């Protein structure tokens, strides 16, 4: 995190080209030393710069901060003019006049100096001259000397080849020490080696040449703003030569979820134990060992860990040897790794148990703390099946001899794909037959499928830079759902993916959205790339491409991509080039897919049918709030692989395709049809407006809804409500379309209808329109009441039926529909009287707990059971129930306790805030909590992280008044520039504005409609 305190002393910029050098630099570099020694300005010729690599923004920030500090100082000095009680101004003292004169002279001198810089204008991009050379501003290291590198990205003149890493964590003192030897290769003559280090106390640094036998001590400089250190060689490092960098250091085990961090948990005897684990993606390997912490700097790793002999260690590779060090301490050495990026390095030190199974020469093991090892069986079975599937599909064997899956007691993410050592949150790996529901089984399966896909997409082939994160995450998400359909068809995972696509499109329809592939530099920008668009939109585009190319062509393209880039890095164009090798000129995949990667948002396709002639037209789908707040879409043109079905050829027989690569086109059908439905099964990433044909589709759903697939029905519900929100269709027509739902039995359309109606209900509820909100709920009860009554409070039926039961009963109990709360209360009281010893049906446990938590006794009992339960699936349901209480004091205590991580782990905080913010008593409390604890939250979870994105989104998404809009804007504007410029903050503001706009447009209409 960047601290303003680094700039308490203002840097000056001057031009003294003839002063002697402070540090040896490259032979062709011109150096300028400032009088104050605060900054170094260096001239660079055009030929030395690569636009994509430059980071002038950091330089501009240094200047900007300097000017801001001066302005602040001048403001403070104005306070010397004080007003007398009678209203007149007192004459300033002589001392005051002298101080003011000095300040004025300094300010005037600074302006003159900047003006006299040779035809140089400072902008955000840097210092521009007429001859197109630029001036980079070099900052100071922590020791006051000039740091020889100004960019966020590391210089390309040195690359790492191999790391020897030795670590000794102490789980008593909660510190660790380490040493690292890095073999580097010099690409261009240099006297500096710049690499990453964050929060490490480096005590020794040396460099040894390949021929040399003597390690030369070197000066090292630190620049914490960019997490960089520079080793200054006593003589030039020669191109083509290898050198060994050796460093010794120490640090504390982190108390955040990043780097090498500590975890506290209770063992079977309720005794506190410590656990150390790593989470390096995206930028935290540097906080465990000095390294070249960028994805393109791949190298091999030899890791040794010293540990207490009673504990065990795991790392990416199998263990090679264990040797004694001192009494009670041993050292584990692991085999040398494959070539990989630093963010994939991992190690765990803990007391763990495991079960294992071998498949195709790979030993698959699942680890957990001892009291949870009886819950890892399902994960092992699932991992083995998925590993076998991926190896067959990719025609490429998993390259390691072992694959470990480890359940971490406190873990921010769902899981992390470290090569050979995948780490998981306990709820995403453990499955308890007694308390895990159908949804829990689907979650565990999905996360394992995602992380195993990463072993190829991300680990074997890695994105070159974080702008193409979607190549990792989009591919892993696509393969996750594809593999589940192939290996576990009974889970109906395609319906979950459909709902995720709908939610991604909500985010992507805002003007604050971003292209899937976006330029990023700062740590906050990189963190923010881990969002719904990189994961879900990226996966959706691959799904669309797969259906257009056909599955065989798509699979062959993937094989080419993996083969051409294994153990290396890739960009988006490399994937499209691989696909083009297979299409062989019949389709330019790159030309088509670039329109989806470089544009933010998605198209709205309007369909007009006249006899056999179908006119189609595309435009950008965008919620426009204020004229000055949206981007022109005139240049947006997607190449859209349209698909459609008609009554002559429905989903059970055939699907037609048409590539719309113009603004509009005409499709001529062979014959007239009764109806036409575009975007078959929602396999395309676009919304369709049927103009006059909506009435025909509404009638079709009423008369014969099974003429369309469940996904097509869900797609129609989603599209018409989004069009109503856009103002292109009436809300009345949207409500008319869902009138058929009393005949619906499938999860996807029912879930989508509940989601859309809940959005409306929540806005009305928080706006104080309780009577109208009640009428919305009455409409839902009219449509789904009979279906709710038909649900059994058991775990019987198919997985799909069980999941629908869980959804309907949880909704009904939350909103007190039919007799849901009566039944749930009876079951909860029986369970409470047994002191939690009797088993509750896992699929309805969430509904039962939520109702039980509404009473004070029930809430206290749930909290007690939460503290003693060994089932993570059960605890997850309990925490959501605890957060659904209407008692404000309990909600505040719950959020505060989770932030502190004492009884409730901090990993649960974003889920707690999400639940609290949905209720009328809680939504203002959630926002107040975020405001009051913003600094603590961003220290714990990091600016831009997925957790912070979710916390901001959930705590503000229910606001629909101008007062709240102003409050949210003002709050973030009062924070650091890094906070106020977060994309998720802009999305939150867009969302509130849209809520206000929706209420203005529809409140009166709803009064009439309901």
Q: Phi, psi at residue 903, to the nearest 5°?
A: -90, -45
Cα–Cα dist 727/353, whole Å:
58
Rg (C-alpha) for the chain, rounded Å, is 30
Neighbour-count burial of 183, counting CB atoms closer than 10 A to its CB (0-12 exposed, 13-18 middle, 19+ buried)? middle
Cα–Cα dist 857/885, whole Å:
12
Cα–Cα dist 355/377, whole Å:
8
Name the nearest CA neighbour of 990 among 285, 506, 321, 393: 506
Q: Is the bond leading into 451 cis (omega within 30 degrees of zero)? A: no
Order across the sheet with 312-315: list the strands: 259-266, 272-279, 347-350, 312-315
Q: Is the bond leading into 754 cis (omega within 30 degrees of zero)? A: no
H or E segment at 234? strand 228-237
Neighbour-count burial of 189, counting CB atoms closer than 10 A to its CB (0-12 exposed, 13-18 middle, 19+ buried)? middle
CB burial readout 474-491, b (16+ within 10 A) else e: bbbbbbbbbbbeebbeeb
Q: Where are the alpha helices (DSSP H) in 550-704?
A: 551-565, 572-583, 589-597, 694-704
Cα–Cα dist 32/117, whole Å:
12
Residue carrying the six token digits 């083009």: 580
CA atoms within 13 A on the CB side of 958: 26
Name the nearest CA neighbour of 405 among 386, 391, 432, 389: 386
- Token pair of 976 as six digits: 């650091």
- The CA distances from residue 9 to 16, 79, 221, in Å, are 21, 21, 19
H or E segment at 364? strand 362-368
The answer to whether 317 and 334 have CB atoms below 8 angstroms apart is yes
Q: Tell me the β-bridge partners of 299.
A: 340
Cα–Cα dist 997/961, whole Å:
9
The catalytically annotated residue of 31, 54, 426, 451 is: 451
Assess whether 803 carries a catalytic annotation.
no
Specify whether the backbone of 584 is left (phi greater than 0), alpha (psi in -120 to 50) or beta: left
- Token pair of 317 as six digits: 């590779």
Residue carrying the six token digits 């047994």: 834
Cα–Cα dist 670/247, whole Å:
74
Residue carrying the six token digits 């009670």: 328
Q: Phi, psi at residue 616, to the nearest 5°?
A: -125, 140
Q: Indicate if the alpha-carbon torsion angle 624, 630, 635, 640 is positive or negative.
A: negative
The answer to whether 823 and 793 have CB atoms below 8 angstroms apart is yes
Name the nearest CA neighbour of 876 among 299, 495, 443, 493: 443
- Token pair of 200 as six digits: 């490490």
Q: Tell me the β-bridge partners of 406.
A: 367, 423
The answer to whether 956 and 991 have CB atoms below 8 angstroms apart is yes
Question: Catalytic positions, please?
Answer: 451
């Amino acid at each position: 995190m960047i601290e303003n305190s680094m700039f308490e002393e203002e840097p000056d910029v001057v031009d003294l080209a003839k002063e002697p050098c402070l540090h040896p630099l490259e032979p062709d570099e011109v150096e300028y030393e400032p009088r104050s020694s605060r900054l170094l300005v260096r001239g660079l010729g055009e030929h030395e710069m690569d636009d994509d690599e430059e980071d002038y923004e950091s330089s501009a920030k240094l200047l900007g901060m300097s000017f801001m500090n001066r302005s602040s100082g001048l403001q403070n000095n104005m306070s010397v003019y004080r007003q007398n009680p009678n209203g007149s101004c007192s004459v300033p003292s002589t001392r005051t006049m002298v101080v003011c004169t000095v300040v004025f002279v300094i300010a005037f001198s600074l302006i003159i100096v900047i003006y006299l810089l040779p035809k140089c204008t400072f902008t955000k991009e840097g210092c521009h001259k007429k001859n197109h050379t630029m001036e980079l501003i070099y900052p100071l290291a922590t020791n006051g000397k000039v740091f020889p590198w100004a960019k966020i990205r590391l210089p390309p003149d040195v690359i790492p080849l191999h790391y020897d890493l030795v670590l000794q964590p102490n789980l008593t003192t909660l510190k660790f020490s380490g040493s690292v030897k890095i073999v580097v290769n010099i690409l261009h003559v240099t006297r500096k080696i710049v690499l990453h280090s964050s929060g490490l106390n480096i005590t020794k640094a040396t460099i040894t040449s390949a021929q040399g036998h003597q390690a030369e001590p070197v000066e090292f400089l630190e620049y914490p703003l960019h997490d960089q250190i520079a080793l200054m060689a006593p003589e030039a490092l020669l191109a083509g030569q290898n050198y060994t960098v050796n460093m010794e250091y120490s640090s504390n085990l982190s108390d955040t979820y990043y780097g090498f961090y500590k975890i506290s948990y209770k063992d079977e005897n309720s005794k506190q134990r410590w656990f150390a684990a790593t989470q390096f993606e995206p930028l935290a390997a540097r906080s465990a060992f000095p390294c070249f912490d960028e994805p393109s700097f791949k190298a091999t790793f030899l890791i040794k860990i010293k540990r207490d002999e009673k504990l065990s260690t795991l790392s990416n590779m199998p263990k090679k040897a264990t040797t004694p060090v001192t009494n009670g301490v041993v050292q584990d050495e692991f085999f040398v790794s494959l070539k990989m990026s630093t963010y994939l390095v991992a190690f765990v030190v803990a007391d763990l148990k495991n079960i294992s199974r071998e498949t195709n020469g790979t030993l698959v093991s699942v680890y957990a703390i001892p009291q949870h090892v009886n819950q890892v069986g399902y994960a092992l079975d699932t991992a083995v099946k998925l590993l076998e599937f991926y190896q067959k599909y990719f025609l490429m064997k998993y390259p390691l001899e072992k694959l470990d899956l480890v359940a971490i007691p406190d873990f921010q993410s769902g899981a992390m794909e470290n090569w050979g050592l995948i780490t998981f949150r306990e709820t995403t790996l453990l499955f308890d037959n007694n308390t895990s529901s159908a949804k829990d089984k689907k979650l565990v399966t999905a996360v394992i499928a995602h992380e195993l896909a990463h072993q190829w997409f991300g680990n074997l082939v890695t994105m070159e830079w974080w702008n193409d994160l979607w190549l990792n995450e989009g591919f892993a998400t696509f393969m996750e759902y594809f593999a589940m359909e192939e290996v576990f068809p009974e889970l109906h995972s395609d319906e979950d993916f459909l709902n995720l696509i709908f939610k991604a499109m909500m985010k992507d329809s805002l003007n604050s959205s971003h292209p899937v592939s976006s330029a990023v530099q700062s740590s906050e920008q990189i963190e923010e790339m881990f969002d719904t668009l990189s994961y879900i939109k990226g996966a959706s585009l691959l799904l669309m491409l797969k259906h257009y190319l056909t599955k065989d062509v798509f699979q062959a393209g993937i094989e080419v991509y993996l083969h051409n880039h294994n153990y290396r890095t890739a960009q988006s164009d490399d994937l499209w080039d691989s696909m083009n090798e297979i299409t062989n000129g019949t389709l330019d995949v790159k030309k088509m897919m670039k329109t989806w990667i470089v544009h933010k948002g998605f198209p709205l396709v309007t369909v007009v049918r006249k006899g056999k002639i179908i006119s189609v037209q595309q435009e950008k789908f965008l919620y426009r709030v204020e004229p000055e707040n949206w981007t022109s879409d005139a240049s947006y043109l997607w190449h859209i692989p349209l698909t459609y079905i008609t009554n002559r050829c429905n989903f059970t027989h055939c699907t037609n395709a048409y590539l719309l690569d113009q603004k509009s086109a005409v499709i001529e059908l062979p014959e007239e049809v009764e109806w036409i439905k575009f975007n078959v099964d929602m396999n395309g990433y676009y919304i369709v407006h049927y103009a006059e044909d909506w009435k025909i589709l509404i009638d079709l759903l009423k008369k014969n809804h099974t003429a369309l697939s469940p996904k097509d029905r869900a797609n129609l519900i989603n599209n018409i409500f989004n069009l109503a929100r856009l103002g292109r269709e009436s809300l009345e027509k949207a409500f008319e379309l869902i009138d058929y739902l009393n005949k619906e039995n499938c999860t996807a359309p029912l879930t989508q209808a509940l989601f859309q109606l809940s959005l409306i209900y929540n806005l009305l509820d928080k706006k104080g329109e309780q009577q109208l909100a009640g009428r919305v709920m009455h409409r839902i009860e009219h449509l789904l009441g009979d279906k709710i009554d038909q649900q059994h409070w058991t775990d019987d039926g198919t997985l799909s039926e069980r999941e629908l039961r869980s959804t309907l009963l949880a909704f009904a109990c939350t909103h007190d529909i039919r007799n849901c709360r009566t039944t749930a209360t009876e079951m909860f009281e029986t369970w409470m009287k047994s002191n939690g010893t009797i088993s509750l049906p896992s699929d309805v446990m969430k509904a039962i707990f939520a109702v039980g938590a509404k009473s004070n006794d029930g809430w206290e009992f749930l909290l007690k059971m939460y503290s003693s339960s060994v089932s993570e699936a059960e605890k997850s349901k309990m925490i959501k129930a605890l957060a659904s209480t209407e008692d404000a004091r309990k909600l505040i205590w719950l959020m505060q306790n989770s932030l502190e991580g004492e009884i409730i782990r901090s990993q649960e905080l974003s889920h707690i805030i999400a639940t609290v913010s949905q209720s009328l008593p809680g939504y203002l409390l959630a926002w107040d909590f975020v405001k009051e604890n913003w600094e603590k939250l961003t220290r714990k979870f990091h600016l831009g992280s997925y957790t912070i994105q979710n916390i901001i989104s959930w705590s503000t998404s229910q606001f629909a008044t101008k007062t709240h809009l102003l409050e949210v804007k003002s709050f973030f504007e009062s924070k650091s520039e890094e906070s106020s410029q977060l994309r998720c903050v802009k999305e939150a503001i867009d969302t509130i504005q849209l809520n206000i706009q929706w209420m203005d447009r529809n409140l009166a209409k709803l009064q009439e409609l309901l």
